[in-house]
Chain A
Amino acid sequence: MKKKTLFLQLVLTASLLFSTVSYAADVNSNRDIPVGGSGQIEMVGTIEPTILSVTMPTFVPFNISSSLSTQNKVISPRIRMKNNSNIPVRVDVSYTKVDLGKLNNVTWSNTGTVNDNQIAIGLKQEETKDEMPTSLSQARWLKANQTQDMNVLILNANQEGALYVVGTLGQNVTDNGTFNVTPTFVVSKTSTTN
């Protein structure tokens, strides 16, 4: 009887021992860290791509006329630009294609200062909503047929902004000619905020 009891005690002890070991193994596989012990946790980080999302024009029509009484001689639409991203973006003019071929004896000014036979066209940030600029102060002037990288606008996340075309022309430039100015806007992410 005593032998039988001893045998049962041994079996019980052995089973408890193995169950503890198996429990420990199971704990270890779940990667819990025992108190005072050491362990390794695999931390998987995923870098989400930064998506740049904007709404902007691909074509900017405008009229220029010496008959306007203001310093700015351009009739410009409101050039709306919307940053739909969650990051701030900057808008630059990277290049401006200029064709004055249909105008006789007219040249381009890169600086905004014109002589009698010159035209200068630039961009200006909106100061008052829906109002065309009357002056040429703070205008950024487009350089003809060369790379420029000229910043014209900074937009915070989900912000909308606007620009206007501005310009002037010399007194010998006739009003009835046409010419083409094609700026290429390039948008990029920036750390600078507006």
Chain B
Amino acid sequence: MSKGKKRILTTAGIILLVALTVLICYLIFSKKDDDNLLYDDNATVGVLPGIDIDERRKQLQEALDRSMIAFSINTSPVFLNGTAKGNLLIENPGNNAKLLKVSIKIDDTEEEIYSSNFLKPGTYIESVALDKVLEKGTYEATAYFLAYDEDNGEFIGQTGAQITITVQN
């Protein structure tokens, strides 16, 4: 190979090397610039209202489905006397995936007569004494089921069930 050809090849190699270096530097610096992008604080994650109703509805449905709870309770619990245990039969079914608390209030007075601690999914309370001593009689009451996130204990929402409490003596 002549000296001239060698020189041309060497020059071409150097040019190629420089071009590669420039390309690599460009990619590195342009990546860095991406990280410094300023995102608008006023932007909200989601779909613009009125733009895609089906998509919006799907998001709402997912939120509602997450809040669904199942529960069971005796509609007519009976207590032998004001301090005795009665058959409340409260259940937090295993498929709930939520913690439940139960608060029972007398309808007329709004007085809370019973408040449970958290019930894990798949547990139930068969019989329990009320927190307040009730006189002999029949009481219309509402049992409120308060749902909490099982992982972080965050309050999700509540629903209620109408019951009739009987204290026999």
Q: Known: A186-B160, A186-B161. Contact between A56 and B68, CB under 8 A? A: yes
**B71: CB under 8 A from chain A?**
yes
Contacts of A76 in B (CB 8 A): 57, 60
Give the residues in chain A near B65, CB-CB below 8 Å. Answer: 77
Question: By the criterion CB–CB under 8 Å, are A184 and B160 in contact?
Answer: yes
Contact flag A67-B75 (CB < 8 Å), given A49-B87, A54-B70, A60-B64: no
Task: For B67, list chain A residues within 8 Å (CB).
Answer: 57-60
Count how many chain B residues have C-beta atoms less than 8 Å from C-beta atoms of the other chain: 37
Q: Which chain B residues numbered 117 to 152 have a C-beta less than 8 Å away from chain A?
A: 142, 144-147
Contact (Cβ within 8 A) B60 A62: yes
| A52 B75 Cβ-Cβ under 8 A | yes
Contacting pair A58 B161 (CB below 8 A): no
Secondary structure call for the B interface: strand
Question: What's the minimum C-beta distance from B152 to chain A, rounded to whole angstroms?
Answer: 15
Nearest-neighbor residue (CB-CB) of B74 within chain A: A49
Q: Given contacts A77-B63, A186-B159, is CB(A63)–CB(B49) below 8 Å?
A: yes
Residue B156 CB within 8 A of the other chain? yes
* A159 shortest CB reach to chain B, Å: 15
Q: Does any Cβ of B come within 8 Å of A110's Cβ?
A: no
**Do A184 and B70 contact each other (CB < 8 Å), given the known contacts A49-B77, A94-B142?**
no
Judge whether B64 and A77 touch: CB under 8 Å.
Answer: yes
Q: How many angstroms from the CA of A187 to the CA of B147 in the assembled complex?
A: 16
Most buried by A among B60, B64, B71: B64
Contacts of B147 in A (CB 8 A): 58
Q: A188 vs B76: C-alpha distance in the bound complex, in angstroms?
A: 11
A52 contacts B160, C-beta separation under 8 Å: no
Query: A49-B89, A77-B61, A80-B68 in contact; A59/B49 too (CB < 8 A)?
Result: no
| B50 beta carbon closer than 8 Å to chain A | yes
- Which residues of A lie under 8 Å from residue B49 when comparing CB positions? 63, 65, 67, 175
Judged by a CB distance under 8 angstroms, whether B83 is at the interface is: no
What are some 19 contacts across the A-B interface (CB < 8 A)?
Answer: A49-B76, A49-B87, A49-B89, A50-B74, A50-B76, A52-B72, A55-B69, A56-B69, A58-B68, A65-B50, A67-B49, A68-B50, A77-B60, A77-B61, A78-B64, A175-B50, A186-B142, A186-B160, A187-B159
Give the B-binding residues of A (Cβ under 8 A): 49-63, 65, 67-68, 75-80, 82, 84, 94, 132, 175, 182, 184-189
Binding site for A on B (CB under 8 A): 49-50, 53, 56-57, 60-61, 63-65, 67-77, 87, 89, 91, 142, 144-147, 156-163
Nearest first, the 6 closest Cβ-Cβ pairs linking A and B are: A58-B157, A188-B162, A59-B157, A59-B67, A67-B50, A186-B160
